[in-house]
Structure 1
């Protein structure tokens, strides 16, 4: 039997005998596995919620990686400020700048043709006021070409989300664990206990009321995430929030085994790229040291 990597398996699942995606349900309009080659839109996301369709989202930070995910049928990619942790060498997302997010987002947009690209608004680019949020979001849309922006906060970000959506900029909200608030919140489960659960429900309703087209629920008890998913008419995107959310997102370097070290409990690793890359680098080094690279076929005259 032919063995497939997880990525090859996903590509195989998303194509039928004619070479066009059909999806597990056979719906040509499915976000994952659908036949449309145009960019995914907010309306597509909304219709998927109505159909009860689950969908995947991965982070991406460069054109080459994004092109692989796009070819694999990933319908939504988040250019997250998690780039600070997994690509820029920061301990947290806090130091990431808007200029960095614009550069990374533009690269991902250039590397894709179908996926909706959501660009993160980094810490300090929207908290000051709705007007500041609008200026920052406009830069991501105009200079990077993203189809939507993401910002953290529930009730406290209501005014920012409302102004952005009124200006025609789609917003994906983010509640629960919000990494930009690490200095006050820490990295721990959010929504445990009656008071905390009620606050999270208020946050979820607030971002929907403000006009967000979807909301990320990070590190939230599965039962609470399921309740939020039931009461909202916009899709929920879970990360460490159990199986009942409408969509799931993972940081790609975690999911594909590049990060290294101990992973959070909610991460499932689908490959071990760290080992593959390490083995390849060692093989290259040994060829150079041993004089077996380059050979005649690698030389020009």
Structure 2
């Protein structure tokens, strides 16, 4: 989509005001990013979820800044006309501001991202403000924060009681005040996500947070059921089952190789007679 104009944070805020939802999808490599852009996606997130769905880890915690730079660079080559956000991985933005800015610099300069995403609330607001002051857009992320899964007791729904709902509201407003251009709400009850979306002037992007956020994000491999085995998730809708198609396609290839039905005549190249003569002649000469 060479004629596509990428979004920016001003346009996104205007879309919230006008009630136009944002579509966001994760991508981790060149072909998936290119396909997402061709399909018309608004934003691409190079998520540290690549640890689970691409690198084979049980959590996102082992993902490094080098991993994120590598995959972000691949995605930005594939989707040159789409706004791309890169995740700051575990423990790369909880130390000194200088250390955090070094990681941000790598994702922006080497990865060529347009923005970074950080998980957390009040505890990261000073870092968010410093990164924004350095000229880098920041997308916040509250609710279920996978990098803190060991602290929050697993993958649990957030905002189920009044105290937790107020905590999420306070965190959203604090991130807005710190300069975040938007906030991902993950596994948050629909009522709380709706209240937060109405209370802040920046877009909210939900994943498992109901129908009333300003946008939605899904993981590429969930949307396309591209995994084996695939684990069902209540908040995910499968739009295509390519995992099964891939498995069936490879199985058919294996069968045809075993049966010698692939390659057939349509897949081979033939040589001129003079070439064949020279080959056979060389073989005969070598045999004497």
TM-score (norm 1): 0.87
> Are 2:27 and 1:49 equivalent residues in the alignment?
no
Contact map agreement 1:120 1:150 (CA 8 A) in 2: yes
Aligned pair 1:173/2:143, yes or no?
Answer: no
Rounded Cα–Cα distance in structure 2 between residues aligned with 1:131 and 1:194: 37
Residues 75 and 114, structure 1, Cα contact 8 Å, conserved in 2:
no
Q: Determine if contact 1:37/1:113 at 8 Å carries over to the other structure.
A: no
Residues 218-227 or 125-134, more deviating: 125-134
From 230, 250, 271, the equivalent of 1:281 is: 250
Higher fraction of helix: 2
3-state SS, counterpart of residue 66 of structure 1: helix
SS of equivalent to 2:192: helix
Q: CA-to-partner distance for each residue in 1:208-247, whole Å, 9 max, x for gaps?
A: 0000000000000000000000000000000010000000
Q: Does 1:97 align with 2:64?
A: yes
Unaligned segments of structure 1, at least 5 residues: 1-19, 21-34
Match runs of 1:248-263 below 5 Å? 248-259=216-227, 260-263=229-232
Going from structure 1 to structure 2, the CA distance change for 1:53 and 1:36 (only over 3 Å counts) comes to farther
Deviations 1:3-44 (A, max 9, x none): xxxxxxxxxxxxxxxxx9xxxxxxxxxxxxxx9623221122
What SS class does the counterpart of residue 110 from structure 2 fall into?
helix
Q: Normalising by the residue count of structure 2, what TM-score does the alignment of the two structures yield?
A: 0.90
- Return the match for 1:292 from 244, 261, 265: 261
Tell me which residue corresponds to 1:60: 27
2:176 is aligned to 208
Tell me what 1:160 maps to.
Answer: 127
Aligned-residue offset at 1:194:
1.2
* Distance in 1 separating the partners of 2:214 and 2:19: 8
Q: Secondary structure at the match of 1:78?
A: strand
Equivalent residue runs for 1:145-156 within 5 Å: 145-156=112-123
Between stretches 91-100 and 106-115, larger displacement belongs to 106-115
| Residue 134 (structure 1) shift | 1.3
Question: Do residues 74 (structure 1) and 51 (structure 2) align?
Answer: no
- 1:178 and 1:232 map into 2 onto residues whose CA distance is 20
- Please say which structure displays the higher CA radius of gyration: 2
User: Which of 141, 163, 182 does residue 149 from structure 2 map onto?
Assistant: 182
* Partner Cα distance (1:194, 1:131) in 2: 37
- In 2, the alpha carbon distance for the partners of 1:288 and 1:241 equals 47
Aligned to 2:91: 124
RMSD: 1.3
> Deviation digits for residues 261-289 of structure 1, max 9, x if unmatched?
33221011111111100010001101100
Q: What is the aligned partner in structure 1 of residue 234 from structure 2? A: 265
Separation of aligned partners in 2, 1:103 and 1:80 = 12
